[in-house]
Amino acid sequence: MSKLITRSVQTHALPLLDRFLAVRRQTEALAEPLSLEDQTVQSMPDASPTKWHLAHTTWFFETFLLKPQLSDYRPFDPSYEYLFNSYYEAVGPRHPRPQRGIITRPGVDEVLAYRRHVTEAMVPLIAQSNATDLIELGLHHEQQHQELILMDIKHALSLNPLLSAYAPEPMPATTGAPISWLDFEGGLVEMGHAGESFAFDNEGPRHRIWVDPFALASRLVTCGEYEAFIADGGYRRPGFWLSAGWDCVQQRDWDAPLYWHEDGIFTLGGLRPRRAEEPVCHVSFYEAAAYAKWAGKRLPREAEWEIAAADVALDGNLLEDGLRHPAPADGEGLAQMIGDVWEWTASPYVAYPGFREPAGAIGEYNGKFMANQMVLRGGCAATPRDHIRTTYRNFFPPDARWMFGGIRLAEDLR
């Protein structure tokens, strides 16, 4: 009897162990094109050094799994609890976020040794533990940081006058598609995650919501379309802008999306000519809302986006495709819902009805950020493929531009 139980636990654990090792490897592979200096720099308070991401994702497994679950676990270095805690008040004090770039020691080699120490300690724990939900959370947490590694190093490289590439950017296979409009009835619908598969706490509970009839654009707004907004005085005419957005335009001298250079665009492949048919990317919520107003449309609400996405395949231009930049649309029907760019919605990031934070420090993961941010949907070209879901709620402050954020238009049907 005990043998049977052991075998069933091991069989169940095997896919999770494989997945754990693959996710850990993928994070390290993302750092490989970077020099040690690249991995140490911090370009702004919101962006973290690559080395910090490598360490912090490891800290997560050490703090929430190894220390509580393995009585004989020996921490790699007790000072790392302070250095690599991101925002968990319940865990204890931490190094200030804007000063992560000053942590030249430990060096990258020591951080990689820390990763090996924790990965090796996790292997037997994964085989024995029934804390699979927490292990899954640790993996999805690490995948979030994989995207952050690319977002953050892109920002750092963009500020270096050499404008050098993270890695060569392949040419996309797609060349663009005309825009069309898809109608949705709405009504009393359900949204949010349900069931046994993994989701973050903020994706549930599943609940009912009333949605009036609406239409959704078949594809994302392109650079060519956004250029027309700029040419029409988009950044000079306050009538298109929310008040706080217009303040940003003036105070920060915004006159184009982040990473635009005259006719060029800086990508993780370096500086190259901009293509009219590629999706506009690295715009703030304020810019997305201003563009929509100029176009006589609006941004989708997250419930609209989610019910429209209910039948789309969980596939698109994602991290594993290696473009690391949104690609032009292709084909007919609802396109680019998954991958390419995170789509700004008109919905504030707030709790769903019935939401309860989990007990303990892990309850700080999502819930405490539910103010002053907007929801984005659908993943981007830097999002790992098995990390995205149609119920996934990403969130950023409305003035943030360094994530791969773009625009899909919606309109009311009446």
* Residue ranges binding Fe ion (CB under 5 A): 86
CB of 8 to Fe ion, least distance (A): 33
Both tokens of residue 229? 């907004």
Of 240 and 365, which has the nearer Cβ to Fe ion?
365
CA angle in degrees (0–180, nearest 5) for 328-330-332: 140
Rounded to the nearest whole angstrom, what is the least distance from the CB of residue 388 to Fe ion in the complex? Answer: 17
- Burial class (CB within 10 angstroms; exposed 0-12, middle 13-18, buried 19+) of 62: buried
Q: For residues 304 and 325, what is the distance between their CA atoms, to the nearest angstrom?
A: 25
Q: Looking at the DSSP assignment, which residues form a beta bridge with residue 211?
A: 187
- Looking at the Cβ atoms of 86 and 390, the one nearer to Fe ion is 86
* Residue linked to tokens 């706080």: 244
Mind giving me the DSSP string for 142-198?
Answer: HHHHHHHHHHHHHHHHHHSTT---SS--PPPS-------EEEE--EEEEES--SSS-
86 versus 284: smaller Cβ distance to Fe ion: 86
In 32-131, which residue ranges form alpha helices assigned H by DSSP? Answer: 50-61, 67-69, 80-83, 108-128
Residue nearest to Fe ion according to CB distances in the complex: 86
Nearer to Fe ion, 86 or 366 (CB): 86
Alpha-carbon distance of 84 to 49, in angstroms, equals 11
Phi, psi of 125, rounded to the nearest 5 degrees: -65, -40
Q: Three-class SS of residue 342?
A: strand
CA dihedral 163, 169, 173, 176 (to 10 degrees): -20
Q: Which is nearer to Fe ion, 84 or 342 (CB)?
A: 84
Instruction: Give Cβ neighbours of residue 178 (< 8 Å, ≥ 6 apart).
Output: none
Nearer to Fe ion, 145 or 155 (CB): 145
Q: How far is the CB of 140 from Fe ion (least distance, A)?
A: 10
Residue type, 379: G
Q: Measuring CA to CA, how many Å separate 122 from each of 131, 135, 137?
A: 12, 9, 14
Give the pairing type, strands 342-348 and 405-406.
parallel
Question: CB-wise, 94 or 275, nearer to Fe ion?
Answer: 94
Provide the minimum distance between the beta carbon of 144 and Fe ion in the complex, in angstroms, as a whole number. Answer: 7
Closest to Fe ion by CB, 86 vs 391, is 86
Least distance CB 71 / Fe ion (angstroms): 26
> Residue 43 Cβ, how far from Fe ion at the closest point, in Å?
18
CB of 110 to Fe ion, least distance (A): 20
Report the number of secondary-structure helices (H) and strands (E) in the chain.
10, 12
Token code pair at residue 33: 């094109």
Nearest distance, CB of residue 86 and Fe ion, angstroms: 5
Q: Which is nearer to Fe ion, 84 or 266 (CB)?
A: 84
Nearest of 203, 169, 151 to residue 351 by alpha carbon? 203
The minimum distance between CB 115 and Fe ion, in angstroms, equals 15
Minimum CB distance to Fe ion smaller for 142 or for 225: 142
Q: How far is the CB of 38 from Fe ion (least distance, A)?
A: 20
Count CB-CB contacts under 10 A for residue 231: 8
